[in-house]
Copies of this chain bind each other. A is one copy, B any other.
Amino acid sequence: MLAERKNNMEIPKTMKAWVLGDPEQLDLKEKPVPEPGPAEVLVRIDAVAICGTDLEILAYGLPAIIEGGLPFNKNFTPGHEYMGTVVKLGPEVDEFHIGNRVTVEIHAGCGRCERCREGMYTACLNYGLNYGEKNKGHRANGFTTDGAFAEYAINHINTLVHVPDHMSDEEATLVVTAGTAMYGLDALGGLIAGKAIAVTGPGPIGLMSVAVAKALGAQPVILTGTRDGRLELGQKLGADHVVNIRRENPVEAVRRITRNKGVHYVLECSGASNGLNEAAQMVNRGGRVCLAAFPHEPVPVDIAYLVRNNIYVYGIRGEGKSATHRAMAFMEQRRFDATIIHTHTFSFEEIPTAIKYTRERIEDAIKVVVKMS
């Protein structure tokens, strides 16, 4: 179906797209190819990675609680970690050209709310308002607007990042994951060189956090997790120390490694019940914790410890402050090999299998990429 599409810029009227019916129910359908509006382009999808958040959306709906409810049975197409080729420009768009290879961020804010106006577009106050009478122009492709489990997708130009020639399609799908790690490091203060950092949880964001922190000069970078295989990947990506928490208490390990000083920053990427409490114990007085993952239920937190030790905690949504562009700069300069976390590849028709591999971590799948042709 997708053969020889690489150099074919002709745009059909309809396209194949996976559509979400009831929870967990994805069907391959024919949809109209959408039209780019002002400040938008049409992107032909060339590759898309499966994200843990995709699994949540398929099962429970959107991670942000927004007006307009759940995405089920609304002809919605998921998929948000993608790259492709610009094939059509909206009116007055000259920032990109047809044929440009691009990878994408998820969020384009409405541009008219208070948060967007101060640059916090991933926290847009009009989140999800894109359709009908309340069209405020917000887009979160694959979250609230159609995503990339399809042949084509619309993108606001703000969400596009140029892909260098030497970078493969598969690698380019990983940029937004690295961008999320970069955004977390920004939240923590941005001045990372020489700072001691612990990353808890060696999932895709955790592993990319190790890579980006090391690229920014952090030392030491400590990675904690439960699986030795993942921790080894962390070492390849720049971790100076890894701690298997099945064998050593992670707080004690951090204190041992830092000679009782603690780290300056923790990127909590495990979502474990005790993640925040342990992170707080890992940092020194005045330290900072970024929450990039979360447990699904409320968990006991020692708030007194946070106050007594002047600890700041940053919940981050998405990949703001153009962090994806900055992460791409590191990847373009080959500061780390993101492809280490790319473990499996499937075809467009195999998207349900790709999702299954991700969910069940079959063959220790980390990043499963769907290649379109």
Contacts and interface: CB of A to CB of B under 8 A. Distances in A.
Contacts of A124: 285
30 contacts: A39-B111, A39-B112, A64-B308, A95-B112, A111-B116, A112-B156, A114-B322, A115-B284, A125-B261, A186-B191, A193-B215, A193-B327, A194-B326, A216-B216, A219-B329, A275-B303, A294-B303, A294-B306, A294-B307, A300-B301, A301-B301, A307-B316, A307-B317, A309-B315, A310-B316, A310-B317, A310-B318, A311-B315, A312-B312, A312-B315
B315 A310 contact: yes
A286 interface: yes
B301 A125 contact: no
A302 B124 CA distance: 21
Interface stretch (A25-33, A74-82, A133-141, A349-357): A133-141
A122 interface: yes
B286 A330 contact: no
A136 to B, nearest CB: 7
A299 B296 contact: no
A205 to B, nearest CB: 12
A154 to B, nearest CB: 15
Interface string A85-123: 000000110110000000000000001101111111111
Nearest first, the 4 closest Cβ-Cβ pairs linking A and B are A123-B286, A119-B119, A194-B329, A306-B315
Nearest to A92: B135
A255 interface: no
A152 interface: no
B291 A277 contact: no
B332 A219 contact: yes
A118 B307 contact: no
Interface of A: 38-39, 63-65, 91-92, 94-95, 111-112, 114-125, 127, 133-137, 156-158, 182, 186-187, 190-191, 193-195, 215-219, 261, 275-277, 284-286, 291-296, 298-304, 306-318, 320-322, 325-330, 332-333, 335
Given A135-B92, A276-B303, A125 B191 contact: no
A329 B216 CA distance: 10
A312 B313 contact: yes
Given A276-B303, A312-B315, A315-B311, A193 B326 contact: yes
Given A194-B326, A285-B115, A315-B307, A134 B219 contact: no
A295 B306 contact: no
A303 B335 CA distance: 33
Given A194-B328, A310-B320, 4 more contacts: A111-B111, A193-B330, A215-B217, A294-B307
Contacts of A321: 118, 191
| Residue of A156, A218, A284 with most partner-chain B CB within 10 A | A284
Contacts of A216: 193, 216-217
A302 B207 CA distance: 25
Contacts of A296: 304
Nearest to A277: B298
Contacts of A328: 194
Contacts of A94: 134
Contact of A117 (B309, B313, B322, B330): B322
A322 B118 contact: yes
Nearest to A112: B39
